Amino acid sequence: MIVGIDGPSGTGKSSTSKAVAAKLGLRYLDTGAQYRAITWWMLHNGIDLTDPAAIAAAAGRPEIVSGTDPAAPAITVDGQDVSAPIRGQEVTSAVSAVSAVPEVRARITALQREIARQAQGGIVVEGRDIGTTVLPDADAKIFLTASEEARAARRSGEQGGRDAQSLAATRQALARRDAADSGRKTSPLAKAGDAIEVDTTELTLEQVIECVVTLIEEKRSR
Ligand SMILES: Nc1ncnc2c1ncn2[C@@H]1O[C@H](COP(=O)(O)OP(=O)(O)O)[C@@H](O)[C@H]1O
Ligand SMILES: Nc1ccn([C@H]2C[C@H](O)[C@@H](COP(=O)(O)OP(=O)(O)O)O2)c(=O)n1
């Protein structure tokens, strides 16, 4: 059972995918963490992120290893645990530019397909282009959406900034990243034709998990 869950930032992909994988006994892969990890490495190694040719030339250098246990997601770059620094502001602001470079996508996509191929019993893979590009033959494809307002409120809440100013700044940064991810040439953020769309704006996380589990079980029983 291969499940692809795509959608923009703050729609609930990570929380839903982890919970669904744990409930159904599947492995779990956060592909956003891989793009964040390669971005962290580029920043750490002084690669000029305004120069796509420099990013492309360095794309093959870092060794990225992802754990697939939904209860303990792990990611290392050249043996170093980067799960905390990849969530920082510096990486978040740079990740869209790095992940738009075709050589970066080719490298990370190959890694993702290999992890999915090796996953015993199946896997939930979450990202932006899983249903369209990485695993077009996935058994179940889900596309999560939510209003920009709801997504910004969720992200802002996570960062502890619930005042109007930080909410507005979060919303602006989120909209900018969505536009970059949807507008890039190579495998942009998009809903696959055969994906099932779930609008999570008015749903609790538990309701979304329940809905996705039901959709997967329907596919499984066919
Ligand atoms: N349906 C929901 N209702 C309210 N909050 C949610 C919902 N789904 C996720 N969240 C919260 O929103 C934040 C972002 O969720 P996350 O799973 O990281 O989204 P994504 O992976 O799509 O960026 C988290 O703090 C999560 O707990
Ligand atoms: N399959 C993917 C996953 C993520 N990316 C890129 C684009 C996203 O802005 C960044 C970060 O993704 P991530 O899922 O960690 O972002 P959020 O936590 O949802 O804000 O990586 C991608 O290009 N393709």
User: Tell me, what's the ipTM?
Assistant: 0.98
Mean pLDDT, the chain, integer: 96
Each residue's pLDDT tens digit, 47-60: 999 999 999 999 99
Contact between 13 and 126 (Cβ < 8 Å): yes
The CATH class of the 2-214 domain is alpha beta
Structure tokens, 109: 């996509």
Contact between 98 and 35 (Cβ < 8 Å): yes
CA of 17 to the centre of ligand 2 (A): 14
Q: Sheet containing 80-81: give its strands across.
A: 64-66, 75-77, 80-81
> What pTM does this model have?
0.97
Task: Among 99, 109, 134, 187, name the best residue to mutate to test ligand 2's pocket (greatest count of ligand atoms within 8 A of Cβ).
Answer: 99
Each residue's pLDDT tens digit, 131-187: 999 999 999 999 999 999 999 999 988 877 678 888 899 999 999 999 999 999 999
Q: Is 9 in the pocket of ligand 2 (CB under 6 A)?
A: yes
